[in-house]
Amino acid sequence: MSEPTIRFGTDGWRGIIGDDYTFDNVRACAQSFVSYLKDAGFAGRGLVVGYDTRFAAEDFAAAAAEVIAGNGVRVYLSDRPTPTPVVAFSILQHQAGGAVIITASHNPRQWLGFKVRPEYAGSAPPEVLAQIEARIPEALASGARRLPLHEATSRGLVRAFDPRPAYREHIAKLLDLPSLRDAGLGVVVDSMHGAAAGYIRSLLSGGKTKVWEIRSARNPQFPGMHNPEPIARNLGPLVQALRRHKADVGVATDGDGDRLGVMDENGRFVNQLQTFALLTHYLLAERGLRGPIVKSVTTTGMVLRLGELYGLPVHETGVGFKYLGPKMMETDAIVAGEESGGYAFRGHLPERDGILSALYFLDFMARRRARPSQLLEELYHTVGPHYYDRIDIVLTDEAKPRLMERAEKLQPTKIAGLKVTGKDTTDGYRFLLDGGWALIRFSGTEPLLRIYCEVPREDLVPKVLRACRELVGA
């Protein structure tokens, strides 16, 4: 039998639990990461290990910790399921050399994953991921060094810790929590049975603002949803709770707490592109921040318009914070965002954080004394209307090469009647249209073809998506 292939995609490695996601493979990943960090000179600072709420995630985290300790490197092991951004912040808290996070983020329940974070607490850039990945075959062949957890703990190489207090203390420095608690907002929080459960509620409790939390209990089955991704199709319970409590807004975080989804007061989904534009507008118009903006090619043109209006540069990158995070640090950007609902902010981390994103959105509402639909109306008045959607097409191993070859050759002059004014291949095949864009892209973490579009009229959205699907023959 051939050795399994472990590939680090857009944000680490993910696999099916019990199939390719096994203890041996996780140990090999941990051995490869700690070997890389030793050569890079960061292992002496120790490593943080965290995990989400998925099946046996704490056991896989323990396996990773045993390998790290077996290499003589101390481990700060989270004592509970912890959101990815909180684990990332713990790197800074402990001045560690990086982190391992056992999570599959928003993937369906049968998946688990292995994320790494370097010493600066953001996503690792592609060249670092490539170096870690290149060491995996040797780790699989030779076996990982291991020190049993109880022995590593007794020797002081593994120390369990509660990551919440330091993170909460940091968040309290980023915005005026007492004012937000007394703003009188009605907020429903949907934690989607994920690792961010309890964070927003605890940060906002004790004042006039009311917070109701749903799906806060750990449940690795993620019942009632296709996957723990905060998008409209998975948020039926949030809509029901929003209406039941007559709340002002609903916010949802994904399985590992690094993404945000928003429902307005009427139970309408505020999509990820609208949310990114609103958060950028908040930083510029309400907090008076100035500096570059970083966006992935899959997210909104509205921030390009905001950049024009405020005289600020906007940098575009490929998909994933392995591109966005380094660009954010390089340019000292005030914000970075991607289409999947991940947003990062200056003064915090070069890393997505669904918890802080939600708090900033609520702060925008409180400062403006406006509900989400009113904020969106104001945004459209400023930058013009923009409408977006995405379709995901599951690919077979046989179909993917054929579709990729066809997509590479596409040179359309019109899509759904809209003139194609340019083509960009930064990440996938993006066609610039009159007043919008469309993108055909193959996922880096899942067997999916994704087709995206953003156009100035709502009725054009399904037409553009359908036309792109026909173009690629999917």
pLDDT digits (tens, 9 = 90+) for 397-437: 888 889 999 999 999 999 999 999 999 999 999 999 988 99
Flag whether 6 is in a domain.
Answer: no
**Residue 1 — pLDDT band, cuts 50, 70, 90?**
very low
Last residue of some domain: 132, 166, 200? 166
Last residue of some domain: 355, 383, 411? 383
Question: Residues 96-153: pLDDT tens digits?
Answer: 999 999 999 999 999 999 999 999 999 998 899 999 999 999 999 999 999 999 999 9
Total domains in the chain come to: 3
Q: Give percent of the chain with pLDDT exceeding 90.
A: 92
Tell me, yes or no, whether 112 and 213 share the same domain.
no
Buried b (16+ CB within 10 A) or exposed e, 277-311: bbbbbbbbbeeebebbbbbbbbbbbbbebbbeeee
Tell me, yes or no, whether 57 and 78 share the same domain.
yes
Maximum CA extent, the chain: 69
Tell me, yes or no, whether 358 and 437 share the same domain.
no
Flag whether 423 is in a domain.
Answer: yes
Flag whether 80 is in a domain.
Answer: yes
Flag whether 391 is in a domain.
Answer: yes
Flag whether 2 is in a domain.
Answer: no
User: 2 Cβ partners below 8 Å, 6+ apart?
Assistant: none
pLDDT given for residue 2 in this prediction: 45
**Residue 249 — pLDDT band, cuts 50, 70, 90?**
very high
Tell me, yes or no, whether 373 and 392 share the same domain.
no
Rounded CA gap, 454 and 432, in Å?
Answer: 10
Tell me, yes or no, whether 308 and 184 share the same domain.
yes
Does pTM surpass 0.75?
yes
Range of the domain at 57: 13-166
Tell me, yes or no, whether 342 and 418 share the same domain.
no
Which helix (DSSP H) or strand (DSSP E) does residue 468 occupy?
helix 460-472
Last residue of some domain: 362, 383, 404? 383
Tell me, yes or no, whether 119 and 17 share the same domain.
yes
Tell me, yes or no, whether 182 and 315 share the same domain.
yes
pLDDT over 60 (residue 43): yes
Which helix (DSSP H) or strand (DSSP E) does residue 211 occupy?
strand 210-214
Classify the C-alpha dihedral 22-23-24-30 as positive or negative. positive
- Token pair in block for residue 226: 């296709």
Which CATH number fits the domain that encloses residue 147?
3.40.120.10
Flag whether 5 is in a domain.
Answer: no
Flag whether 1 is in a domain.
Answer: no
Given the structure tokens 């958060």, which residue do they identify?
279
Tell me, yes or no, whether 399 and 318 share the same domain.
no
Tell me, yes or no, whether 215 and 325 share the same domain.
yes
Which CATH number fits the domain that encloses residue 420?
3.30.310.50
Question: Residues 373-397: pLDDT tens digits?
Answer: 999 999 999 999 999 999 999 998 8
**Segment 293-313 mean pLDDT:** 97
User: For the chain, what is the total number of helices (H) and then of strands (E)?
Assistant: 17, 21
pLDDT given for residue 208 in this prediction: 98
Tell me, yes or no, whether 228 and 323 share the same domain.
yes
Flag whether 121 is in a domain.
Answer: yes
Tell me, yes or no, whether 233 and 206 share the same domain.
yes
